[in-house]
Chain A
Amino acid sequence: MSDLLPWLIVALLAALGAPLFALIAAAALIGFHAAGYDLTVVAVEFYRLSELPGLIAIPLFTLAGYLLGESGAPKRLVRLSNALLGWLPGGLAIVALVACALFTAFTGASGVTIVAMGGLLFPALAHAGYRERFNLGLITSSGSLGLLFAPSLPLILYGFVAGQLGTDPPVTVESLFLAGLLPGLLMVGLLSLYAMWNGRHLVAETRKFDARELRDALLDAGWELPLPFLVLGGIYSGVLAASEAAAVTALYVLVVATLIKREIGLRKLIDTMSEAMRLVGAILLILGVALALSNWLVDQEVPSRLFEFLQEHVDSPLAFLLLLNLFLLVVGMLLDVFSAVVILVPLLVPVALGYGIDPVHLGIILLANLQLGYFTPPVGMNLFIASYRFDVPVTKLVRSCIPFFLILAFAVLLITYWPALSLALVR
């Protein structure tokens, strides 16, 4: 009983909404204490945060994302997508999907997408004649779309956590950036088809392709246009490591926003930078204490025991993956993506390796699933953010999201059982 008491206290604190990093730290402290170790080990493990190569990618990409969000970039991005795709049936809806995906890739699915892009896109969609429920579902579900595209923070984080497990084949941030490309496109593609079907009758919305507007929009977004090429081109061509691409991107965005476009002044710059570092601090604290927890798991051989247990009951990789999908759906609903990655990866990667699943593929499955969790009823975080932002009840949002949920769930299944989709560009 006395062994159980500390765990019960942690569970209680968790239920009461204590910060996750503190809970993970408590779990590590209790675990190491029960194993009879000097608890200084927990501090030593946390300090390993300063040993992870390329970790600067996290603060620098976050800075770039926050600066983009504070600048006029979202507006210009929407204008350009509209000029490019607006003439398609369902064009504006596709614009919304593409713009949200790109924006999320840079800002992480921290709810910024719904607030910043939703404010632009929701009125436009309504004006074009789309049904309200469709619009609500689209914006809410797009809030996490783009999680699989470089340089999304969850992808980078998975790279660090799985990378330090020393797997064979290895996991690198660069390989994840490649692996996420096709699955991410699949999700955007499937949702686009649904959007086209929804917009097929909206004659008012279908407008002619306007070369002059496209040219103007291109010029307007001229400074943002090189960004995806800078990030993706730099990394995929092998010229830049992920951390270097982060530095170049952050510097570029900083110079454009403050010196060229002059959309961000000194005071706002400091506010934006410190705001970005508060998020980075929150994420890195979780990562640091998770290093300690995962070290306890490795020390106590929990992953191998879990694998032995699972192997008795689950014989095929296929069955394992199905179970994994269901499990992740629940986890994704309850936990934010960062905590889910740092807590689950050290447990799941060794088990998945035992079933012969490539750890890079596992990462894509994991993130695709967690993306779904963002708007899984009843407690997916984006449901609450959208509810707050658009002032509609959560129940209405849940109903609106159902078709989008089903489509993306189908995409997740495809991604899970078709490894080549993730691995074709990597291995």
Chain B
Amino acid sequence: MTAASATPSASRWVRLLHRAEDGLLALMLLALLLLAVSQIALRVFFDTGLIWSEPVSRLLVLWLALLGGLAATREGKHIAIDALPRLLPPLWRRIAWSVSQLGAAAITGTLAWYSISMIQLEREMPTYLVGTLPNWVGMLVLPFGFGLMALRFLISSATHGPAATPELSPELADLDDNPSVKS
């Protein structure tokens, strides 16, 4: 769907990568769900709870935010005000897209840079998430996520233009042929 459709085999690798990415997202979400549900079950049935459950589920949410955001970048699904570009003729629209994606790449790159700086600061005087697991390990997702987002914005500024109707995913458009109700 994105980038690098230069050769068939390259695009196959990209597809595989995207599938792995989707699988990871689903797995993390499932872990979050199971953690939350078992915490409720432990409380209701056994009057107890896992001490590490709360900090770990918060960390999972942070990771979902970055990796979900990274996948949203891949699909061009970020929320944006696109009223103006919609009014532009195709060529100008294409240029507006490239410039805006380049800008986003610069900004997310900056965020990645300062995330590294935060991790350095944290390693000088570590605090702990739970037990002996330092917080900076959980923070690693920030430079990782923002860095790859920057890369994806760069690629998308060069390779493909905006979707025809940005808010609407192809999945949703497929819902068209629902049967009508009897009345």
Contacts and interface: CB of A to CB of B under 8 A. Distances in A.
Any A–B CB pair closer than 8 Å: yes
Interface of A: 9, 12-23, 25-26, 29, 38-40, 42-44, 46-47, 49-52, 55-56, 58-60, 63, 74-75, 78-79, 82, 86, 92, 110-112, 115-116, 119-121, 123-124, 127-128, 205, 207, 240, 243-244, 246-248, 250-251, 254, 269-271, 273-288, 334-336, 338-339, 379, 381, 384-385, 388-389
A287 B103 CA distance: 20
B178 A119 contact: yes
B72 A279 contact: yes
Contacts of B173: 115
30 contacts: A13-B103, A16-B96, A17-B84, A20-B81, A21-B79, A25-B108, A40-B118, A49-B62, A50-B138, A56-B36, A58-B61, A74-B178, A86-B183, A115-B172, A123-B180, A207-B183, A244-B36, A246-B36, A248-B40, A270-B22, A273-B25, A275-B169, A280-B65, A281-B69, A282-B78, A285-B65, A285-B78, A336-B79, A379-B83, A384-B165
B2 to A, nearest CB: 13
B182 to A, nearest CB: 8
A417 B106 CA distance: 45
Contacts of B83: 334, 379
A354 B33 CA distance: 40
Nearest to A287: B65
Contact of A385 (B21, B36, B96, B167): B167
Interface of B: 21-23, 25-26, 28-30, 32-33, 36-37, 40, 57-62, 64-73, 75, 77-85, 96-97, 99-101, 103-104, 107-108, 110-111, 114-115, 117-118, 121, 138-139, 142, 162, 165, 167-169, 171-173, 175-181, 183
B67 to A, nearest CB: 7
Nearest to A58: B61
A86 B182 CA distance: 11
B26 A59 contact: no
A288 B111 CA distance: 12
Nearest to B129: A50
Given A18-B100, A18-B104, A244-B36, A269 B26 contact: yes
Contacts of A42: 111, 114
B36 A243 contact: yes
A29 B99 CA distance: 19
Contacts of B172: 111-112, 115-116
A26 B114 CA distance: 13
Contacts of A205: 183
Nearest to B115: A43
B111 A120 contact: no
B9 to A, nearest CB: 23
Contacts of A86: 183
B37 A21 contact: no
Q: Which of B61, B79, B139, B179 has the most CB of A within 10 A?
A: B79
Contacts of A384: 165, 167
Contact of A21 (B26, B62, B78): B78
A281 B67 contact: yes
A15 B111 contact: no
A115 B176 CA distance: 7
Contacts of B169: 275
Contacts of A275: 169, 171
Q: Which of B37, B75, B81, B165 has the most CB of A within 10 A?
A: B81
